[in-house]
Structure 1
Amino acid sequence: MSFLLAWTHRFAELGPDFHTELSPTPLPDPHWVGQSPAVARELGIDETWLRSDEALQAFTGNAVLPGMRPLASVYSGHQFGHWAGQLGDGRAILLGELAGPHGPLEVQLKGAGLTPYSRMGDGRAVLRSSIREFLCSEAMHALGIPTSRALCVSGSPGRVRREEIETAAVVTRVAPSFIRFGHFEHFSHSGQHDQLRTLADFVIDHFYPACREAPGNPYAALLEAVSARTAAMVAQWQAVGFCHGVMNTDNMSILGLTIDYGPFQFLDAFNPAHVCNHSDTGARYAYNRQPNIAYWNLFALGQALLPLMDEQQQALDALEPYKALMPAALQQRMNAKLGLSDSKDGDAELTDNLMKLMAADAVDFTIFWRRLSHAGSGDLEPVRDLFLQRDAFDAWAVQWQERLQAQPGFDATATQAQMLRTNPHVVLRNHLGEVAIQRAKQGDFSEVARLQSAIERPFEALAGQEDLAAFPPDWASQIEISCSS
């Protein structure tokens, strides 16, 4: 069957300084691993066609459909705090844009073969990392966290060498734009200031038009707007216990989206210093460092934009609001998790005392918040059972309940319902993904589909999915995820 898609490609029009046009490299005997009907609908893709061989070949990189204009973009960046120079789409190929309900959406293949920016890589992705990215993109979206999406993932018996020989896969990613901080760093550090201005104007015109009318310098206004979006995103990460794992500047979206799902993890036992990336030997990207690392990355973006500003102070002034915005956004999120509909002095202390207790007793992050959501009526025993320091928790719980009940028009039933809509029942824990991956390696994709169904409705306690919301097994703490994932 054939299905005609109306492709456009605004990024391609920027010209050859920004990208290299090339075709994906085919993979042998592709097969479907997973698909997102919700993303297909966002793109106006017929779901029946998406299951066809024509779609399979196109989204594996084996065929270029009419209207596609495949390319790989060039960017640079700081990796683990060090300037890495030119990087670029080493295994990602941008096919073009399709119309979404809120504007064009870029469609990109990850794992589609060598590009001029592959450096020492092979341009491929493996099955395990592609499944993780596919599932986590959709999980984050369902949690309400800004993110790239995933249309589908396909597999192949084609071989890829990582720590061991694995099979190849391609994940089709979707976002309004995949432009990163590193794109700006590339043109700034190479002295290509005309191209830097062209890129900044492109981003302002298409994604931040209000910056053009803002008082002062429009590029400083862009930096401030990006900082605000990044602050909101990172606050949501912290509130849900999400660790990105590799917050290099080339992995930071100019739109404040979560992108590049590699060694990510949702916390099991709460440990503020948890490092989810086995490659991060210096713990640079530990959970509790993410807010400050985001600011560091924004500072690097500010440095990259300096050639477009009148003076350095404009960049510093644009970055300053982040220092207040991020903690305020996080406290607002934590208040919602606690069932608080208003803000008062003392809320930060109430939250901090709780987090210290949770860290001291290594309390399971997701299960704690879900049980607390059910405890507004006064039954605290299931929550209390999570702690070793029962007396300390009891004292905190008295303060929490007093704060709850002091709210104007407090209603325990309504508060519980609001908390259950805020604190997820299911998140994409590492061990759940690992089970799905191991079955997929044997050709059984049913667990990918079951897990996808659950994470797309993370706040619902659905029958038959109790195991997905249970405590992690002992072996879960031994899972190691690295940048090679």
Structure 2
Amino acid sequence: MPFTLRGDDACQPTTPTPIPNPYWVAFSPAVAHLIKIEIGEDGLPKNGDWLEVLAGNQLEVGSVDFSTPISTAYSGHQFGVWAGQLGDGRAILLGDINDLEIQLKGAGKTLYSRMGDGRAVLRSSIREFLCSEAMHALGIPTSRALAVVGSKQAIRRETLETAAVCSRTAPSFIRIGHFEHFASTQNIARLKELADLLIARFYPECTIDPDPYLSLFKAISARNAKLVAQWQSVGFCHGVLNSDNISALGLTIDYGPFGFLDQFEIDHICNHSDQGGRYAYHRQPQVMHWNMACLASAMLPLLELDHSSEESQSLLRTAMEDFPLVYAKEWQHLFRSKLGLQLEREDDIQLIERLLQAMHDSKIDYTNFFRSLSRIKKDTLPSDILQRNDFIDRQNIDHWFTNYINRLQSEIISDDSRRDLMNRINPKYILRNHLAQSAIEKAQQDDFSEVTTLFKILSNPFDEQEGFEAYSHPPPLMMQKIAVSCSS
């Protein structure tokens, strides 16, 4: 069942606002399968009423009745500053099917829209659809995207654009901001209901702990620590890591001004609106840890039900210390795997960090370089490695390759087996901004073929996909600095 804390300002009935003349822009048969939608030979739902439902134009399809759609309130910190009450300003939760909640983003105003129009535009909806499914294919926990439905309805942003509705699914869209909302309003009864709901549905292991709420905090923190390590490993920048955008299940949610690294710049900022670089690539782990401190503060009243205030604060402070340890362990595991290393050695961290620094200094393409490492064999000479020519400091990178090959020689696994393993963790294809922009520009001219092509490629990011190699190339010079902002 979806988030069900009805009866106060936290959860309000919300009817979607219809859009005129909806049409399919993108559709994910894989997600449709999860919620038991029958698909026709054209790859779209057999029941045409799904188009109207996912546009927000009707609430019934076949035997499925979404008669009680809702939107929820949450609060949070934005760019490190308390923003007070926020909420689902343009997201409406239809209900759930097969234990997956279905949410429409851009389906009209809600009680929490504030000054917004409740709509989303085609541009941002396509980006969210493609990235949600790309992240899933990369093996990273994420909300999923079912479809994008478009309309010619005009929407004003910086310029006039057209409307779209992105339907997305997740086991739950509960976020840190829901905890912060109840804590800030001192509604401890609702705060407890929220925590109990999460424990019952998603964290049953917490029930056997004598301190279930402390155990819940640790579990949420650990999931998000591992999540951000996975982001770092594929070069993903979220862009808006406000506390209200952090999932209580450790999922990647709220795709806005995100971006994948092209050239490796450790301080890369993907969000044009983030002028201070708070959410830069290298700061994501630190900011996620900060968001867990926001969660700890919000959950403090729950621990105080069984402990003194001083003891509760001490328990949470100690629990906060787990985050960097969990993150570091996951990060080290992932980057060892990216280098094809199965044995653990203490000097591996130095090997990884020296490589990343060299890549940063020379602005090396992140995805393509790691993908190419699988071709190196234990008997390869550094002077024969073509990638060395891309580095500014040739002597430094030759020294690194010498150390790397020596390290490979200490591994038992064969070159062929290592190559196969590395090519399962180092993708060939990512959602580069220039590819998304090309698909968007065609879609704005009613040509959705590039969205479909890109979706299919990104659904299999580790495969070679002969004939589509151009989609793995770095962006041309004129498209290297595409600006992406919070506008959507």
TM class, shorter-length: over 0.9
Q: Distance in 2 between matches of 1:27 and 1:374?
A: 51
Q: Distance in 2 between matches of 1:426 and 1:478?
A: 19
Q: More displaced, 475-484 or 147-156?
A: 475-484
Tell me the CA shift for residue 256 of structure 1: 0.2
Aligned positions of 1:156-235 closer than 5 A: 156-215=151-210, 217-235=211-229
- 2:107 aligned partner: 112
Q: Distance in 1 between matches of 2:472 and 2:336?
A: 23
Tell me the CA shift for residue 478 of structure 1: 3.0
- 2:374 aligned partner: 373
- 1:385 aligned partner: 389
**Sequence identity (%):** 50
* Alignment partner of 1:31 is 2:30: no
Aligned positions of 1:40-439 closer than 5 A: 40-48=32-40, 50=45, 52-65=47-60, 66-68=64-66, 69-99=68-98, 104-215=99-210, 217-309=211-303, 310=307, 311-376=312-377, 378=380, 381-407=385-411, 409-439=412-442
Q: In structure 2, the residue corresponding to 1:160 is in which secondary structure? A: strand
RMSD: 1.2
Tell me the CA shift for residue 18 of structure 1: 2.7
Tell me the CA shift for residue 52 of structure 1: 4.4
Q: Distance in 2 between matches of 1:444 and 1:275?
A: 31
Q: In structure 2, the residue corresponding to 1:12 is in which secondary structure? A: coil
Q: In structure 2, the residue corresponding to 1:50 is in which secondary structure? A: coil
Q: Which amino acid aligns with 1:193?
A: I
Name the CA shift for 1:24/1:131 in 2 (closer, same or farther; >3 Å): same
Q: Which amino acid aligns with 2:420?
A: A
Q: Which amino acid aligns with 2:363?
A: A
Tell me the CA shift for residue 386 of structure 1: 2.4
Tell me the CA shift for residue 382 of structure 1: 2.9
Q: Are 1:17 and 1:195, in contact at CA under 8 Å, matched by a contact in 2?
A: no
* Alignment partner of 1:444 is 2:447: yes
Q: Are 2:5 and 2:11, in contact at CA under 8 Å, matched by a contact in 1?
A: no
Q: Are 1:30 and 1:60, in contact at CA under 8 Å, matched by a contact in 2?
A: yes
- The alignment of Structure 1 onto Structure 2 pairs a total of residues equal to 471
Question: What TM-score do you get using the length of structure 1 for normalisation?
Answer: 0.95
Q: Distance in 2 between matches of 1:126 and 1:51?
A: 26
Tell me the CA shift for residue 372 of structure 1: 1.1
Q: Which amino acid aligns with 1:482?
A: S
Gap runs ≥5 in structure 2: none
Q: More displaced, 134-143 or 373-382?
A: 373-382
Tell me the CA shift for residue 15 of structure 1: 3.9
Q: More displaced, 353-362 or 43-52?
A: 43-52
Q: In structure 2, the residue corresponding to 1:158 is in which secondary structure? A: strand
Gap runs ≥5 in structure 1: 1-8
Q: Distance in 2 between matches of 1:235 and 1:258?
A: 12
Question: What TM-score do you get using the length of structure 2 for normalisation?
Answer: 0.95
Show CA shifts across 1:148-185 (max 9, x none): 00011110000111110000000000000000000000
Runs of 4+ in structure 1 deviating by more than 6 angstroms, as ranges, are none
Show CA shifts across 1:83-126 (max 9, x none): 00000000000001110xxxx11000000000010011110000
Which of 22, 34, 48 pairs up with 2:14? 22
- 1:5 aligned partner: none
